[in-house]
């Protein structure tokens, strides 16, 4: 479904559609990794905030470029480069959407609204929970089995959980 077909959807449905893309899942894993790396190097939420922000924007641009190029090359954009870029931006939006909760938490730590370590850890935990939720709901679309859904949630969350555990070991 492209941007034109989704024009009449509610904001919640737009968010849900953005969340269930490979770009969103990759974005959650990318953001978690960048939090771990930047927290280890700098140890401050403001450093993590700017590192995550810049990294997500650069990776989003790279995704848009590669997707637009692929769409244009496959003639799916009817030889319209701007249409290919617009479609690619829409498809890659999940990477930007999923970075917002972590960025808000890191900004709260930077502004000293919450403790530095709490901001960093909470951002990672939120990403793991989002990954688990995405895994659960994605599997629920094709299976009614509680165990299949749980397995999907655990497997998807494991990517973020590994990074969270890594941060705990590296930090302490």
pLDDT in tens, 91-100: 899 999 999 9
Q: Give pTM, 2 decimals.
A: 0.80
- Say what the pLDDT of residue 3 is: 53
Q: Dump pLDDT digits (tens) for 63-75.
A: 999 988 887 777 6
Catalogue the E-assigned strands of the chain.
none
**Domain assignment present for 70:** yes
The reply to whether 153 falls in a domain is yes
Residue 2 placed within a domain: no
115 located within any domain: yes
pLDDT (0 to 100) of residue 171: 55
| Domain range enclosing 18 | 11-171
- Tally of structural domains, the chain: 1
Cα–Cα distances in angstroms (integers) from residue 171 to residues 34, 38, 57, 80, 154, in the given order: 14, 12, 27, 49, 24
Is 137 in contact with 20 (CB distance < 8 Å)? Answer: yes
3: in domain: no
CA 65 → CA 61, 92, 93, 97, distances in Å? Answer: 6, 10, 13, 18
Cβ-count burial of 36 within 10 angstroms (0-12 exposed, 13-18 middle, 19+ buried)?
Answer: buried
CB of 85 closer than 8 Å to CB of 61: no
Instruction: Please report which confidence band the pLDDT of residue 102 belongs to, taking 50, 70 and 90 as the band edges.
Output: very high
Per-residue pLDDT reduced to its tens digit, 21-63? 888 888 898 898 888 887 666 667 788 899 899 999 999 999 9
- The answer as to whether 101 is a domain residue is yes
Mean pLDDT (whole number) for 10-21: 76
pLDDT for position 19: 76
What is residue 57's predicted lDDT score, i.e. its pLDDT?
A: 95
User: Is 122 domain-assigned?
Assistant: yes
- The reported pLDDT for the residue numbered 106 is 92
Residue 1 forms part of a structural domain = no
For residue range 112-152, list pLDDT tens digits in order. 898 888 888 899 899 999 999 988 988 988 899 999 999 99
Choose among 110, 134, 122, 11: nearest CA to 53: 110
How many DSSP H helices and E strands does the chain contain?
A: 7, 0
The CA distance from 122 to 13, in Å, is 26
Q: Give yes or no for residue 105 having a pLDDT over 90.
A: yes
């Amino acid at each position: 479904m492209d941007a034109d077909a989704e024009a009449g959807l509610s904001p919640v449905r737009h968010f849900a559609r953005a969340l269930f893309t490979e770009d969103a899942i990759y974005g959650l894993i990318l953001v978690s990794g960048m939090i771990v790396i930047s927290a280890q190097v700098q140890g401050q939420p403001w450093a993590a905030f700017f590192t995550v922000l810049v990294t997500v924007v650069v990776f989003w641009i790279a995704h848009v470029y590669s997707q637009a190029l692929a769409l244009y090359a496959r003639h799916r954009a009817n030889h319209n480069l701007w249409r290919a870029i617009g479609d690619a931006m829409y498809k890659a939006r999940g990477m930007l959407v999923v970075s917002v909760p972590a960025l808000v938490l890191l900004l709260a730590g930077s502004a000293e609204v919450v403790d530095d370590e709490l901001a960093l850890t909470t951002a990672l935990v939120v990403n793991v929970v989002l990954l688990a939720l995405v895994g659960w709901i994605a599997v629920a679309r094709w299976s009614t089995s509680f165990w299949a859904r749980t397995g999907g949630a655990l497997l998807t969350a494991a990517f973020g959980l590994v990074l969270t555990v890594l941060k705990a070991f590296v930090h302490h």
